[in-house]
Structure 1
Amino acid sequence: MIDLSMRRVIPVILVLGSAIGFADIDNLRFLGHNEVNWAHLMDAEVVGDRAYICVGFTPGLEVYDISDPANPQRLYRMGPKAWRAVASGDTLLFLFCRLDGVVLYDISTSGSPVQLGQFNPSGSLEALEGGDLIGTTLYSAAHQNGIYAIDISNPSNPKKIDEIGLDTSAAWNIEAKDSFLYVANGRFGFTVVGIDGGLHIASKLPLSGCANDLVLDGDVAVVSLGPAGLATVDISDPYNPVLLDTIATGGNVWGSGITGHLVVTGSWYLMELFDITDPAQIQKIGWDNTKTFALGADIRDDSLIAVADWRGMSCYQVGPDTGPDIDLEPQLLDFSPVSGSVDTQVIVRNTGSTFLNVSSVSTPTGITANPASFSVPPGDSQVVTITASGSGTVAGNITYYSNDPDESARQQEVYKNNTSFPHYGSLAPDFNLEGTDGQWHRLSDYRGKVVYLEFGGAW
Structure 2
Amino acid sequence: MKNRSLRIFLKIALSTMLLTCIRPAPAPLPVILNSPVGETITAADITFSWQAQQPAAGYIIQVASDSNFRKIVVEETVSTASANLHLKTDGRYWWRVRARNESNIWGFWSEAAFFILQRFRVVGALKTQGYPHDLAILGNRLFIADGQAGLAIYDISIPEQPRLQGKYLDSLNVAWGVKARDSLVFLAYGYKELVIINAVRPESLKITGVLEYPQPGYGYALALRDSWVYIAAGAQFIAVDISQPAYPNLRFQYYYPRNCRGIAIENAYACVACEQLGIAVWKLDTFPPRQTETFDTDGNARGVDCRDGFITVADGRNGVIFLQQDQAGHLTELAALELNGYASAVTIEDTLVFVACGSGGVAVVNCADRANPFLIATITSPYAYKVGAIPGTDYFFVLDRDLGIVTVKKEF
Structure 1 length as normaliser, TM-score? Answer: 0.60
Q: Corresponding residue for 2:151?
A: 61
Identity among equivalent pairs (%): 19
Relative to structure 1, the CA distance from residue 61 to residue 236 in structure 2 (aligned partners, 3 Å threshold; closer, same or farther) is same
CA contact (8 A) 1:94 1:104 kept: yes
Q: 2:373 and 2:379 mapped to 1: Cα distance?
A: 18
Q: Corresponding residue for 1:408?
A: none
CA contact (8 A) 2:302 2:316 kept: yes
Q: 1:258 and 1:90 mapped to 2: Cα distance?
A: 23
Q: 2:363 and 2:169 mapped to 1: Cα distance?
A: 30
Q: Which digits, 9 at most, give the CA deviation of each residue in 1:273-297, with x for residues without a partner?
A: 222221112222222112x311122
Matches within 5 A, 1:306-325: 306-311=397-402, 312-319=404-411
Q: Corresponding residue for 1:276?
A: 367
CA contact (8 A) 2:167 2:202 kept: no
Post-superposition shift, 1:205?
A: 1.0
Q: Corresponding residue for 2:221?
A: 130
Aligned partner of 2:140: which letter? Answer: D
Aligned partner of 2:311: which letter? Answer: A
Is 1:182 aligned to 2:271, yes or no? yes
CA contact (8 A) 1:116 1:156 kept: yes
Post-superposition shift, 1:197?
A: 4.0
Q: Which digits, 9 at most, give the CA deviation of each residue in 1:376-412, with x for residues without a partner?
A: xxxxxxxxxxxxxxxxxxxxxxxxxxxxxxxxxxxxx
Relative to structure 1, the CA distance from residue 239 to residue 258 in structure 2 (aligned partners, 3 Å threshold; closer, same or farther) is closer
Aligned partner of 1:216: which letter? Answer: C
Q: Corresponding residue for 1:35?
A: 127
Post-superposition shift, 1:309?
A: 1.0
Q: 1:271 and 1:178 mapped to 2: Cα distance?
A: 28
Q: 1:268 and 1:289 mapped to 2: Cα distance?
A: 10
Aligned partner of 2:273: which letter? Answer: A
How many residues are treated as equivalent by the alignment? Answer: 297
Q: Corresponding residue for 2:379?
A: 288
CA contact (8 A) 1:85 1:93 kept: no
Q: Corresponding residue for 2:247?
A: 157
Is 1:234 aligned to 2:329, yes or no? no
Q: Corresponding residue for 1:44?
A: 135
Q: 1:255 aligns with which of 333, 345, 350?
A: 345
Q: Which digits, 9 at most, give the CA deviation of each residue in 1:52-71, with x for residues without a partner?
A: 222221x3111222222222
Is 1:103 aligned to 2:103, yes or no? no
CA contact (8 A) 1:47 1:87 kept: no
Q: 1:264 and 1:149 mapped to 2: Cα distance?
A: 28
CA contact (8 A) 1:189 1:207 kept: yes
Aligned partner of 2:339: which letter? Answer: T
Aligned partner of 2:189: which letter? Answer: C
Q: Which digits, 9 at most, give the CA deviation of each residue in 1:334-363, with x for residues without a partner?
A: xxxxxxxxxxxxxxxxxxxxxxxxxxxxxx
Q: Which digits, 9 at most, give the CA deviation of each residue in 1:219-252, with x for residues without a partner?
A: 1111111221111110123442111111111211
Q: 1:68 and 1:274 mapped to 2: Cα distance?
A: 27
Q: Corresponding residue for 1:169?
A: 258
Matches within 5 A, 1:324-339: none
Aligned partner of 1:205: which letter? Answer: F
SS in 2 for 1:246: strand
Q: Which digits, 9 at most, give the CA deviation of each residue in 1:9-54, with x for residues without a partner?
A: xxxxxxxxx78x97453421101111253x3222222222222222
CA contact (8 A) 2:166 2:203 kept: no
Post-superposition shift, 1:90?
A: 4.5
SS in 2 for 1:44: strand
Aligned partner of 2:125: which letter? Answer: H
Aligned partner of 1:267: which letter? Answer: C
Q: Which digits, 9 at most, give the CA deviation of each residue in 1:98-132, with x for residues without a partner?
A: 21221112345676554321111222x52122121
Q: 1:84 and 1:197 mapped to 2: Cα distance?
A: 27
Q: Corresponding residue for 2:36?
A: none
Q: Corresponding residue for 2:300?
A: 210
Relative to structure 1, the CA distance from residue 277 to residue 109 in structure 2 (aligned partners, 3 Å threshold; closer, same or farther) is farther
Unaligned runs of at least 5 residues, structure 1: 1-17, 321-459
CA contact (8 A) 2:166 2:202 kept: no
Is 1:94 aligned to 2:94, yes or no? no
SS in 2 for 1:296: strand
Is 1:73 aligned to 2:163, yes or no? yes
Post-superposition shift, 1:157?
A: 1.1
Post-superposition shift, 1:256?
A: 2.7
Structure 2 length as normaliser, TM-score? Answer: 0.66
Aligned partner of 2:350: which letter? Answer: G
Unaligned runs of at least 5 residues, structure 2: 1-69, 74-90, 94-116
Post-superposition shift, 1:88?
A: 4.5
Q: 2:233 aligns with which of 121, 136, 142?
A: 142
Q: 1:61 and 1:233 mapped to 2: Cα distance?
A: 33
Relative to structure 1, the CA distance from residue 203 to residue 246 in structure 2 (aligned partners, 3 Å threshold; closer, same or farther) is same
SS in 2 for 1:172: strand
CA contact (8 A) 1:106 1:116 kept: yes
CA contact (8 A) 2:398 2:407 kept: yes
Post-superposition shift, 1:265?
A: 2.4
Is 1:245 aligned to 2:335, yes or no? yes
